[in-house]
Amino acid sequence: MVVGIAALRAQGDKGGKSDKLIYAMADQMTFKDGPLAGVSMATVWGDPQTGAHGQFTKMKPGWDAGMHTHSNTLELLVIKGAYLYRDEAGDKRVGPGGFIRIPAGHKHWSGSDKTEGALFYEDSDGKFDLTPTQ
């Protein structure tokens, strides 16, 4: 079953205030390989290379990002599979319909379900980045 999500956001192309309506379905987007092997992305609004943006992200089954931080806050809504998350407070399995907000600078590990991978909508207040940590 193909699952999609409508993204309605009062944001312009560069993340600024706008009265522009945006509608997108994950199964109708063109996904491109991301900067990390095993991850593909489809931008819905903004530009992940320069600033605030929204995008659909797919992680291959069993994908492992290792321990890392982001300089931007991320909000994720899982559509299919599961986004796996771990920090000092423990493990979380974020499945379809689940939401997680990861504050900027918060050290964590993330990955995807070993069988299904993960498909989620990601909203970010800054450009895409991932800084590995130990």
Whether the model clears a pTM of 0.85, i.e. scores above it, the answer is no
In tens, the pLDDT along 23-64 reads 999 999 999 998 889 999 999 999 998 999 999 999 999 999
User: What percentage of the chain carries pLDDT values higher than 70?
Assistant: 87
CATH number of 26-132: 2.60.120.10
- pLDDT-derived band of residue 18, with 50, 70 and 90 as boundaries? low
Domain range summary for the chain, segments of one domain joined by +: 26-132
Q: What is the DSSP string of 87-125?
A: ETTEEEEE-TT-EEEE-TT--EEEEEBTTTBEEEEEEES
Q: Evaluate if residue 14 carries a pLDDT over 80.
A: no
